[in-house]
Amino acid sequence: MPSDPRLLRRAAVGVTSVLLATAVGCAPQPEDNAAAAPSGSAGSTCAKSTLATKTSGKLTIATDSPAYEPWFKDDKPANGQGFESAVAYAVAEQLGYAENAVVWQSVPFNKAFAPGEKTFDFDINQVSISDERKKAVDFSSGYYDVRQAVIALKGTKAASATSIADLKGLKLGAQVGTTSLDYVDDVVQPTRAAAVYAKNDQAKSALKNGQVDAIVTDLPTAFYITAAEVTDGTIVGQFENQGGTPEQFGLVLDKGSALTSCVTAAVDALRQNGTLAKIEQQWLSDAVDAPVFK
């Protein structure tokens, strides 16, 4: 008897489905490297039309207020001036967003990487990437390699320090929640507890008023502070990176954000094509080598 064409078609579809399932099951799969990779889902495309931003067609970027130099200029993140403002707009452009599609938001430093859903697509505010912070938020790959530095007033005992041992007996200050404070507590381990401030402005005032012997900030900020804000201050030295890997600033995103992989790809592209280096040269060229504490 002639075979029923409908039965033959069904049988063929069934065999094809089995073969496809087998092929997929046997195909090489990416290795599980969750510790090294961002936790955001990696989509097959980062086209603007596919990005699930907080506001459709807009990219919401956050930073602290005030927005300090040399990271921003004139406390106006939206003007494109300063290292982090320029980086933010370069990332936006890489993702397909024109300047007029970028919306800025003010978010306090500590709140940017605290647990909980974010109101921004990403935050840029000198936030160092760390395993502890990754428990609460996602990070892009690093957009700047940074070191921490010590600032003291010229002519003081603190200004003559050349080693970590010289710093131990000093009253040191730093902003709360920062890597700067971590370096005071974990690297210097001073004999007196560090003075902790909500803002760098408060730390600078404490230095000027003699309430602390020295303060710790990232190196580019230290150069700006001593050049423009505490002109009788001096950069005493900088710390070596701990653990063999450079400290890096990263863009902060919601934990598990669908944007993480695309934002990371944008940062990586800007590093590879030389854009990050050009922006760094333009805005952070004054941050030259300072003596290294041993």
Query: Angle CA(95)–CA(279)–CA(283) in degrees, nearest 5?
Result: 135
Q: How far apart are CA 294 and CA 276, in angstroms?
A: 30
Compute CA distances 87 → 90, 205, 254, 278, whole Å: 5, 29, 19, 10
Bridging pattern class, strands 247-254 and 137-146: antiparallel
Per-residue burial over 239-256, b if 16 or more Cβ lie within 10 Å, else e, is beeeeeeebbbbbbbbbe
Q: How far apart are CA 148 and CA 222, in angstroms?
A: 9
Q: What is the mean pLDDT of the chain?
A: 85
User: Band of the pLDDT at 22, cuts 50, 70, 90?
Assistant: very low
Picking from 19-23, 67-71, 218-222, 277-281, which range would have the lowest pLDDT averaged per residue?
Answer: 19-23
Picking from 42-46, 61-65, 82-86, 196-200, which range would have the lowest pLDDT averaged per residue?
Answer: 42-46
Residue 213 pLDDT exceeds 70: yes
Q: What is the mean pLDDT of residues 65-80?
A: 94
The pTM assigned to this predicted structure is 0.73
Please provide residue 72's backbone torsions phi and psi, each rounded to the nearest 5 degrees. Answer: -135, 170
**Token reading at 77:** 């993140």
Residue 289 pLDDT exceeds 90: no
Check residue 131 and give its pLDDT.
92
Check residue 228 and give its pLDDT.
87
Picking from 44-48, 102-106, 171-175, which range would have the lowest pLDDT averaged per residue?
Answer: 44-48
Task: Give burial (CB, 10 Å; 0-12/13-18/19+) of 208.
Answer: middle
Residue 189 pLDDT exceeds 90: yes
Check residue 197 and give its pLDDT.
97
pLDDT, tens digit, for every residue of 84-135? 999 999 999 999 999 999 999 999 999 999 999 999 999 999 999 999 999 9
Residue 15 pLDDT exceeds 70: no
Picking from 85-94, 176-185, 193-202, 234-243, which range would have the lowest pLDDT averaged per residue?
Answer: 234-243
Residue 33 pLDDT exceeds 90: no
Tell me how far apart the terminal alpha carbons of the chain are, to the nearest angstrom. Answer: 92
Query: Which of 4-13, 22-31, 233-242 ranks highest by mean pLDDT?
Result: 233-242
Counting residues of the chain whose pLDDT is more than 90, the rounded percentage is 74
pLDDT, tens digit, for every residue of 125-136? 999 999 999 999
Beta-carbon contacts of residue 35 (< 8 Å; ≥ 6 apart): none
Reference 91, options 117, 67, 122, 113; nearest CA is 122
